Structure 1
Amino acid sequence: MSQTRLQHALTTLKEQGYKHTKKREVMLDYLVRRNRYVTAKEVHHFMNQSFPGVSYDTIYRNLHDFAALNLLEETDLNGEMKFRFHCCLEPGEHHHHHFICTVCGKTKELDLCPMDFFEEQLPGCVIEGHRFEILGRCEDCQ
């Protein structure tokens, strides 16, 4: 499944006019395999092992480009942007939200969407989007 997600991301980059580079491929593969929220610093540290001297700005810019293409989800935890590979990219995957560990960034899917309740409370309004996250400490970080 992770190879499918990686291939989908690389295809999306190409379709949107981005050049396929080994750095982008390695960065996306890292994000797919981590399957949790990570900081740009974590990605930079990882990338610097394979590509010594890669600039932090390059990593950060690519993360934001990937998020703009809807390949990554972003969240602000404790005043720092964190990124994770988007988990609803493949057909058949369902809409869901996340519990996010504020220590390690691990996520757990929540199948319940609170928007059902809010839609009932906002007659006549059109909701164009929403974001719902529960923050706390996972069982490993308590």
Structure 2
Amino acid sequence: MNVSEAIQLLKDHGYKYTGKRVDMLEFLSEHDKYMSAKEILEGMKDTYPNMSFDTIYRNLALFEELEIVETTELFGEKHFRFSCTHEEHHHHFICLQCGKTRKVEICPMDHVRNELQGYSISGHKFEVYGYCNKCH
């Protein structure tokens, strides 16, 4: 997904096209990592010095609902990143120092399904945490 597709998705669902939303999407797309709402607010303060946490959280909740952003919890706090794709199933390695991600192609669900035969699985999430080559 790119910013233009995300904006179109917002429009398709009846949401307003605003400069703040576009700038937030562009900011998120420029950073290939998970970030906290505080980091996003800090990164946008030069352009929007009076932007509030409420504005950040409302837009992030909307982006999450429309699957424009992916979320994870790091250090007891929700973190967000621009969604990399909706077309191929994959998981992520997440650096605990810098938040950068790397796609993990394999999925453990084939093994899990064998263990849970007869159960109805509604979804899953698999993430690997550690330190990237630069932070190690």
1:62 matched to 2:56: no
Q: Deviations over 1:75-134 (max 9, x none)?
A: 110111110011113xxx421100001111000110000001001111122211100001
State how 1:1-142 maps to structure 2 within 5 Å.
5-89=2-86, 93-142=87-136
1 or 2, which has the higher helix percentage?
Answer: 1
Runs of 4+ in structure 1 off by over 6 angstroms are: none
The whole-number CA distance in structure 2 between the counterparts of 1:104 and 1:40 is: 15
More displaced stretch, 25-34 vs 4-13: 4-13
Q: How many residue pairs are counted as aligned between the two chains?
A: 136
The whole-number CA distance in structure 2 between the counterparts of 1:47 and 1:33 is: 12
The whole-number CA distance in structure 1 between the counterparts of 2:30 and 2:2 is: 10
Q: CA RMSD in A?
A: 1.1
**What is the letter of the counterpart of residue 123 of structure 2?**
G
Q: Which runs of 5+ in 2 are unaligned?
A: none
The whole-number CA distance in structure 2 between the counterparts of 1:64 and 1:105 is: 20
The whole-number CA distance in structure 1 between the counterparts of 2:65 and 2:101 is: 21
Q: Normalising by structure 1, what TM-score?
A: 0.91
Q: Which runs of 5+ in 1 are unaligned?
A: none
Q: Normalising by structure 2, what TM-score?
A: 0.95
TM-superposed CA distance for 1:47, in Å, is: 1.6
Q: Deviations over 1:24-50 (max 9, x none)?
A: 001001111101101111110122110
**What is the letter of the counterpart of residue 111 of structure 2?**
F
The whole-number CA distance in structure 2 between the counterparts of 1:131 and 1:64 is: 19
